[in-house]
Structure formats: C-alpha cells, structure tokens
Amino acid sequence: MMGQAVAHTYSARREGDFMLQAHDVHKFFGSLHVLDSVSLDVAKGEVVCIIGPSGSGKSTFLRCINHLDKIDAGRMSVDGRLVGYTERGSRLHELPERDLLKQRADIGMVFQHFDLFPHMSVLENVCLAPVLLKRRTKQEAKAAAVELLRRVGLADKLQAYPVQLSGGQQQRVAIARALAMEPKLMLFDEPTSALDPELVGEVLVVMKELARTGMTMIVVTHEIGFASEVADTLVFMDRGRVVESGDPRTVISQPREERTRTFLSQVLS
C-alpha cells in the first residue's frame, strides 16, 4: 500500500489531468537509498505538501522533478512528458540539453536559502531568465516583473540588491523570479526554514495567494499549520519512502502509521 495511497485517491482522473506522475522512483547516493519506490500523482491545480524528518528524501524528490538530480529507476513525468528522457520504442534516451532546459523553464523552483543572484538588483533577478531565454523582450519582461513584484508586495524594492533585503523579502523576490517564467508547476523546497519566525508569515501569505490562483504546487515544509490550511494532500515521507498521504486534516489528526504519529507529535509539541 505504501506509496500508492495518492494514486487511488485520483483513480477517477484521466492521464491528462495530472501535472506530476511519479511511479516507483528510486534514487541512490552511493549506497544510500535516498528514494525508495516513491510514487506520487499530483493533479493540475492541486497543492501537495510533503513533510518528514530531515534526510527523508523530500528535497531530493523535489530536485528530481526538474531533473537537478537524476532518478536511478522508475518513471517521472510532468504534464504528461517524461522528465529528462524521451521514450523511443521501449527504450529511454536522455533528452538533449536544449529540451531539458525547456522542460525546466516550465517548472518553477524556490529554495530554502533563496539563492537570489546577489550581483543583480531585484528587477534584474526577475527579468534575467525571461529575457535570456527569449520568452519576452526587455520591455515586456520589465513590465511583467514589476507586476509580479507588486503582487508579492515589493513594488518599492525594484532597484534594491538582495543583500539590502530581509530574508522574507528575498524569498518573495525568489518566488517572483520563478513565476516570471510562467511555470505550470511550482516546487518549494523548505521555503520558510531559513527565515526568522516573524518573517515566515509574509512568505506563506504569498504562497497562499498563489495557491488560490490555481497554481499546481508541491511544497516541502515544516509548517504544519500552512499544510493543513492550504494543501489538498499531505504526504509524509520517511527514509526515502512515502509512509502516508491523504487529506491533510485527517493525516494530522488521525495518522494511520506509527511513524507519522511520532513525527507529528515531535513537530507539533
């Protein structure tokens, strides 16, 4: 049953309704089995939160979705297309770099430590990829960036450099930077873990707002409150496996598995 829990929830859906389909994904770092038969389906417009102790493979799973890490076995597809590979006959071939980059450009990612480009202003950070990848002209990109930065509440910081911003502000710029590529899917890798407690809220507000617009989101997080409020599905991972998943409130209040219970009691205490 493990790892399949989500799949049956959406068994009524058709193939085309899924943004992410991961089936029996394995990943090794040397002899370490980081992902052990992970399966997860995410419907279009769905918000999935992944929780679990550190080292449980959550972040690695996220990085496999846009091929920053390669999976060693299994299948992973985003919007109906295999990630990083093409299928000819029954064989998988690695995608040429150009196609891989196109795939990545459609998947936005937000990191724990923001990773803004420190030598560029806020506006330049947001405009870089759309202009460089010729999705927009400079003028269009700038207008779109200003609009995005207004949405995340930073319209007055266009010319600031990342170092002049608080962590919460930097993370909101990072979200705007990812959104500037108009992704179909947004990945958040512990977006509030590096923030001072009083700055967590402003980032979560932006993420809630994004969820409300119908963006498909996969969020690795320790914010149980956010997960229960915003997520459609909560996934608990431990030691590279999906232990339990389902409706967030049910998983939190009545966890089926002992490990989930132990973890939640530690996090919530």
Partner 1 sequence: MVVSAALAVGLVTTLITNPRYEWGTVNEYLFAPDILRGLRMTIILTVVSMLIGIALGIVLAVIRLSPSKLASGLAGAYIGFFRGTPVLVQLIFWFNFSALYPKVVIGIPFGPEFFLVNINLLITPFVAATLTLGLNEGAYMAEIVRSGILSVPEGQTYAASSLGLSRLQTLRKVVLPQAMRVIVPPTGNEVIGMLKTTSIVSIIALSELLYSAQSIYTRTYETIPLLIVVSIWYLLATSVLTFGQQYLERRFGRGTTRTAPVARFQMLRNAWGMTRREAGVQ
- For binding to partner 1 (CB under 8 A), which residues are involved? 63, 66, 68, 97-98, 101-102, 104-109, 111, 113, 115-120, 128-129, 132-133, 161-164, 174, 177-178, 181
- Shortest CB 112 distance to partner 1, Å: 9
- Shortest CB 52 distance to partner 1, Å: 21
Q: Which residues pair with 25 in a beta bridge?
A: 38
For partner 1, give the closer residue by CB, 9 or 121.
121
- 5-38 per-residue burial string, b: 16 or more CB within 10 A, e: under 16: bbbebeeeeeeeebbbbbbbbebeeeeebbbbbb
Provide CB contacts within 8 A for 167, sequence distance 6+: 114, 194, 195, 196, 199
For partner 1, give the closer residue by CB, 58 or 104.
104
Give the type of residue at 104.
R
Give the H or E element holding residue 58: helix 58-65
- Shortest CB 174 distance to partner 1, Å: 8
- Shortest CB 264 distance to partner 1, Å: 30
**Residue length of the chain:** 269
For partner 1, give the closer residue by CB, 113 or 138.
113
Closest CA to 228 of 249, 208, 201, 207: 249
Give the type of residue at 52.
G
For partner 1, give the closer residue by CB, 181 or 243.
181
For partner 1, give the closer residue by CB, 51 or 65.
65
Q: Which residues pair with 94 in a beta bridge?
A: 85
- Shortest CB 178 distance to partner 1, Å: 7
